[in-house]
Structure formats: structure tokens, C-alpha cells
Amino acid sequence: MAKRFTYTNTKTGRIIFESVEPNYVSITDVDLKVKEKTGKDPRLNPHLIERQIRIVSEPERNRV
């Protein structure tokens, strides 16, 4: 199984980052990827950036 991480800007409703990661990747590692890509740290702005995590099958992981 894999996890789909979706980060959304709560003010605009736009998805700012989306990624499918193996099950062993931690939330902190993905948060650091978000910070690299967007320049915003979701750990410091939890009321501005919403994180959603869903379990997905391996074939879906390979599509993204």
C-alpha cells in the first residue's frame, strides 16, 4: 500500500502539493518536500495549509 498526500491552501482551496509515497515515508519527510517545492512550511501554518492523507494501491502509486 502507498499513501497519497494532498496539501491544500485553505484560503483559496487550491491544491499546492500532491504526491504518492511508499507507506514507510513519514509525514515529516513529505512536509519537507512541500517546503522545498512551495517555500511554505505546513508545520508552521497548520491553519493555512491542510494536509489530507489517503491509502492507495500500488498501481495508483506508479501512475503519479
Q: CA 51 to CA 48: how far, in whole Å?
A: 10
Ramachandran category for residue 39: left, alpha or beta (phi over 0 → left; psi -120 to 50 → alpha): left
Query: Does residue 55 surpass a pLDDT of 80?
Result: yes
Q: Grid coordinates in use for 45?
A: 501554518
pTM of the model: 0.84
Q: How many CA atoms lie within 13 A of 10 on its CB side?
A: 9
Q: What are phi and psi of 32, to 5 degrees?
A: -70, -35
pLDDT of res. 61: 52
Query: Does residue 62 surpass a pLDDT of 80?
Result: no
Question: What pLDDT digit, counting tens, does each position of 6-51 carry?
Answer: 999 999 999 999 999 999 999 999 999 999 999 989 999 888 999 9
**Would you kindly state where each structural domain of the chain is located, as residue ranges?**
2-63
β-strand partners of 51: 7
pLDDT of res. 46: 80
